[in-house]
Amino acid sequence: MRIAFLGHGHVGGALAVHLRRLGHDVTIGARDAGAATVTALQARAPGLRAAAPAEAVRDAEVVFLATPFGAHREVLEPLAEALAGRILVDCTNPVGPRLSHGLASAQSGTEVLQALLPRTAVVKAFTIYGYENFEDHAFPAANVRPAMLFCGDDAAAKRTVGGLIDALGWEPVDVGGREQALALEHLTLLWIRMVRMGGRSPHTVWAMLTR
Ligand SMILES: NC(=O)c1ccc[n+]([C@@H]2O[C@H](COP(=O)([O-])OP(=O)(O)OC[C@H]3O[C@@H](n4cnc5c(N)ncnc54)[C@H](OP(=O)(O)O)[C@@H]3O)[C@@H](O)[C@H]2O)c1
């Protein structure tokens, strides 16, 4: 699959490396495609490409947004036309002062992105845990896979993203439409408070048991 990344830091870098190692055609769209942060990722995943953002997304079927939420306009507005008809995986979390919700829980960041990109299928995924779990998502002692909760309105886009989640070793859990994104963003805040403030291991994840 042709995949592009906007943002190649803790989250984007880890996911780009793993998806490239799975054989996908992955391009990092970077402000500086020759930056040391980019070449370091390319050294970890041969064949990982880098380009200016507009070029990176041009042929991509799936685009990951892994920049700070506050940068979303700056990053997405110039690409809005190019992103029409594509899948955008929203990895961002709007976080406000003292670990509050960054949009005062009035709406989710995902809803903001979807309103900005009405012709793009936005799927929120890879947000509910710290980046450490995207670097290394193996839980060898567990007999269930870690769950990755995701949501969005477009069923076909969610099947595609669910397939990537599965291939990366997670149990894909489709929790519903875009209206669920606010709940996922609160779940993220719960995880951040438990781990970053509460001192739990960053390799703390949820599992889904159903009967
Ligand atoms: N950290 C976590 O554990 C975690 C977990 C889940 C989700 N998230 C969410 O994922 C997103 C990325 O987090 P991160 O920890 O990966 O951040 P990070 O390590 O700081 O990386 C941020 C990336 O965004 C790019 N960027 C920043 N501002 C930009 C702008 N104005 N225009 C274009 N590119 C810009 C940076 O590119 P340059 O190198 O060019 O600056 C960098 O590649 C955030 O929304 C965060 O809330 C984070």
Name the strands in the sheet holding 2-6, side by side, starting at the edge strand that comes first in the sequence: 49-51, 25-29, 2-6, 62-65, 87-90, 121-124, 147-152, 171-174
Overall average pLDDT of the 99-119 stretch = 98
Long-range contacts of 79-84 (CB under 8 A, 24+ apart): 79/6, 79/53, 79/54, 80/116, 80/117, 82/54, 82/57, 82/58, 83/57, 83/117, 83/119, 83/120, 84/117, 84/119, 84/120
- Pocket lined around ligand 1, Cβ cut-off 6 Å: 7-12, 30-31, 37, 66-69, 71, 74-75, 91-93, 127, 130-131
pLDDT tier for residue 199 given thresholds of 50, 70 and 90: very high
Atom nearest to 69 CA in ligand 1: 45
Structural domains of the chain in order of their starting residue, each with its CATH number = 2-197 (3.40.50.720)
pLDDT at 142: 78
pLDDT tens digits for range 25-52: 999 999 999 999 999 999 999 999 999 9
Tell me if the pTM is above 0.75.
yes
Q: What is the mean pLDDT of the chain?
A: 97
How high is the pLDDT of residue 1? Answer: 98
Q: What is the pLDDT of residue 139?
A: 86
Average pLDDT over residues 91-113: 97
Region 135-164: mean pLDDT is 94
Q: Which residues, including other chains, have CB under 8 Å from residue 75's CB and lie 6 or more apart?
A: 6, 7, 53, 65, 67
Distance CA 155, CA 91 (A): 18
What mean pLDDT do residues 53-82 have?
98
What span, in angstroms and rounded, lies between the C-alpha atoms of 182 and 127?
A: 12
The token pair at 92 is 């961002």
Mean pLDDT, rounded, for 182-199: 97
What is d(CA 163, CA 165) in angstroms, rounded to the nearest whole number?
Answer: 5
In ligand 1, the atom with minimum distance to the C-alpha of 13 is: 16
Q: Provide the pLDDT confidence category of residue 120 given band limits of 50, 70 and 90.
A: very high
Query: What pLDDT score does 69 carry?
Result: 98
Q: Give the model's confidence band at 135: pLDDT under 50 very low, under 70 low, under 90 confident, else very high.
A: very high
Measure 9 CA to ligand 1 centroid, in angstroms.
5
pLDDT of residue 140: 83
Residue 162 has a pLDDT of 98
Tokens 């845990």 map to which residue?
129
Q: Measuring from atom 20 of ligand 1, which residue has the nearest CA? A: 9
